[in-house]
Each structure stands twice: as structure tokens, then as C-alpha cells.
Amino acid sequence: MTAAAHPFDIVTLADAQAHIPQRPRDAHKGLFGHVLCIGGGTGMGGALALCAESALRAGAGRVSAATRAEHVAVLLARRPECMAHAVESPADIAELIASADVIAIGPGLGRDAWAQSLLDAALSSGRPLVVDADALTLIARVPRSLPAGSIVTPHPGEAARLLGITTDAVQADRSGSAQALAERYGCVAVLKGNGTLVAASGERARFVVGGNPGMASAGMGDTLTGIVAALRAQRHEAFAAAWIGAVLHAAAGDAVAARQGEHGLLASDLINALPSVFPRRMAG
């Protein structure tokens, strides 16, 4: 069966690399955007750390993390390039939101009143969002359109909650489910899984080639959120940022598996492999 027989186009690492521009010799961090990562509720700081670090490794010019105070020291120790901020209420992130080019929200966010208040602040900001994990569950409780240029990255269970159907129904029609998500929430949808699909209204869906079973481990979704947010901050349109990010994420996982095998593959291993899957072009 040819690709034209599918309701999607198949995309590979070569396709993704061809869409990543060469950086100019006079580049500075301001050219590559500011990603604000929001999450890390009580006891869940690791998810936000993975998201923030993957955004840095994917080339964002600046990355800030807004999280519970208990996680700030660990974040700074793990990745001092990330600007970590203790947040207790939406008032604490007003200036960060104002300076951000894109907001990644959901990794480790939790589902309590603190989480809901930060999500509400992000939704009302008008900034483009990359929404994952707990933020998707909160949105599913009260469905609403997202700010223009936003992206959701659900696994099948989260997609089922967002659409009000069963996970089996999502898996039975992954292409249709991805498209339904995009249209219902006015966003780009990345339906994760074996054969990740990226859909947007008015676009032919993309089917991502790559990835392996070793990536079925904690934190992988958090890394994808950071990668996609970084590409969005680097002036890629939402649909391109989503499918390119999904391809790079899969390719980095495959690079690790080729080197050390699938067993015991960690999300942090994938982050460290990210630079190797970007095109190696020297600035002109």
C-alpha cells in the first residue's frame, strides 16, 4: 500500500532535519525563544526537570521552570542552565508568562487547586501552549478551546478522556481520533503511541516513523513536551513543531537503543542523545 492510500503522510528523521534551519553566525539566545515550563507539584518535580532539560537540549534560547519551592534546589543542581522559580499562586508567574514565547504545562502538575490555578493562568495568557499529562486531565473535566497555536500531546488514555470515549475506541481509529482532538480543541494534536500521529485542522496528518519499546518508561512524555515547546519557541509553526519534535524524540530514543539496547532506556538517556539527531551544520 502506498503512502497516498493512507489519511496521513509518513515522516522520517531526514524529513525533520530538512526543516531545521542552519543557525546564523551572529546568533544569540534571544533568537531561539523563551520556554516557560509549568508543573512539578508536590513530590513530582522530576517530570518538570525532564521537560525543562529537554527544551534546553532541543535548542531553546532560554528555559524557565515554575514549580513548587521544594523542587527549585534540585532543578538548579541538575541543570543550572534552567531558571527555576518557586511558585505558590498565579501571581508568582505573571512576569514569567509575560516574557515567555511558549508555555509547556502539565509534567508533574498534579490535579489539585494549585494545579488548576496555574493552568487557568496559562490558558488565559494568550500564549501558545504545549499541554501534556495532568493538564490534559484537568482540561478534559471542562473542555475548552486552547490559545491559538497550541499543541496537545496525549497518550491514548488521555485522548479518550479529552474526547469522552474509550481508550479502545481511540486505538481503533487513531487517525480519526487525532483529527477529532485537533478540531474539538482548536489546536495541533500529537497522539502518542506505536506510530505517533500528528493532526491539525486543514493539514494532512503526519505519521512518525521511529521509536522503540524501550521508550515505554516514565518521563518519555515529559521529554517530548519539552522538545516540542523548544521548537515552537524557535519560530516553527505549531504543526511543524509538533511533527518535527515527535520525529526527533523517536530518533533520539532509537539512537540510545542502538547504542545500549532497549532494556533500561531512561528518559534522561534520550535527552542526552538529542543533539546527535539534529542536523550537524556549521553556522555560515
> Where do the domains of the chain lie, and which CATH numbers do they carry?
7-17+32-269 (3.40.1190.20)
The SS3 assignment for 142 reads coil
Q: What are phi and psi of 99, to 5 degrees?
A: -95, -5
The string of pLDDT tens digits covering residues 219-256 is: 999 999 999 999 999 999 999 999 999 999 999 999 99
Residue at grid coordinates 525543562:
52
Mean pLDDT calculated for residue range 69-74? 96
Q: Reply yes or no on whether the pLDDT at 283 is more than 80.
A: no
Q: Which of 6, 10, 16, 8 is nearest to 251 (CA)?
A: 16
HSE value, Cβ hemisphere, 13 Å, CA-based, for 169: 11
Cell numbers for 31, please give them: 533568537
pTM across the whole model: 0.96
pLDDT attached to residue 147? 96
Q: How confident is the model at residue 6 (pLDDT cuts 50, 70, 90)?
A: low
Q: Reply yes or no on whether the pLDDT at 169 is more than 90.
A: yes
Long-range contacts of 123-128 (CB under 8 A, 24+ apart): 123/147, 125/97, 127/97, 127/100, 127/101, 127/102, 127/103, 128/101, 128/102, 128/103, 128/232, 128/238
Name the packing angle between helices 69-78 and 45-57 (round to 10°): 40
Mean pLDDT of the chain: 95
Q: Reply yes or no on whether the pLDDT at 5 is more than 60.
A: no
Mean pLDDT calculated for residue range 173-200? 97
pLDDT attached to residue 1? 33
pLDDT attached to residue 117? 97
